[in-house]
Structure 1
């Protein structure tokens, strides 16, 4: 009986836990170097050409108040675009195709492993608690 209860608790915990990328955060740190010309992460991160990416996972698109997004990005956020794992992965493949008219000039990442690794890296930088 105890084993069944513990198994049930473990199953519920596994299902309720946030989904994390399948990638490798250490490898993602290296891939993220391609992003650093425009984006920052970490404790002292600041907006640059692109917004800071702390807490980007599960954040509404175009939602950092002190960053000037393109009209296309603001509109995508207003229409409900949330940066889920899946949406970030699609965006990183071809940003201009995912949100036409956005101002990100990066062509995209070609390798699925690189995309998963970058997402895993971004996941270690939570947003500010309110």
Structure 2
């Protein structure tokens, strides 16, 4: 029963917290946690300025908030990640937190394909740490662009 309540509480908080573009995590704590990510990922703005100097094994995470999965131009994604993006996967707090906890498992479930694989092998076990990293990424990224339907609501 505790597990069910904890899961329901986390899902409710995650969904509510991102409404309006806000993240539920702690951006300051996320900046510290991002050290685990920068071995593979950098954060570099549109002008080429480094926010966080990091690896190039993974895609640049600047502007990941609201980005369709598998669409950053300067990165070669796995076919499964590209397929997920084509199927409608867009990065928000809920999808990011679930993905970084089990990248391959997430893609397999999302695509309903037991053979799906991504390139990310690292797993961030703690959902709170993942939410903090999301908050940090949101704090250093531009506001996601809204489509016409979102602007009229």
TM bucket by the smaller chain?
0.7 to 0.9
Q: Residue 95 of structure 2: which of 81, 87, 91 is its match? A: 87
Q: What do residues 88-124 of structure 1 show as CA deviations (whole Å, max 9, x unaligned)? A: 0100111111113101111x22222211110100001
| The structure with more radius of gyration | 1
Report the equivalent of 1:126: 141
Q: RMSD across aligned C-alpha pairs, in angstroms?
A: 2.2
Kindly tell me the number of residue pairs found equivalent between the two proteins: 113
Report the equivalent of 1:67: 75
Is the 1:47–1:67 contact (alpha carbons within 8 Å) kept by the matching residues of 2? no
Report the equivalent of 2:40: 38
Report the equivalent of 1:104: 120
Larger relative helix fraction:
2
Return 5+ residue gaps in structure 2 as ranges: 1-18, 108-115, 146-153
TM-score, length of structure 2 as denominator length: 0.67
Higher relative CO (CA 8 A, sep ≥ 6), structure 1 or 2? 1
Q: Runs of 4+ in structure 1 displaced over 6 angstroms?
A: none
Moved more, 30-39 or 120-129: 120-129
Is the 1:56–1:127 contact (alpha carbons within 8 Å) kept by the matching residues of 2? no
Report the equivalent of 1:6: none
TM-score, length of structure 1 as denominator length: 0.77
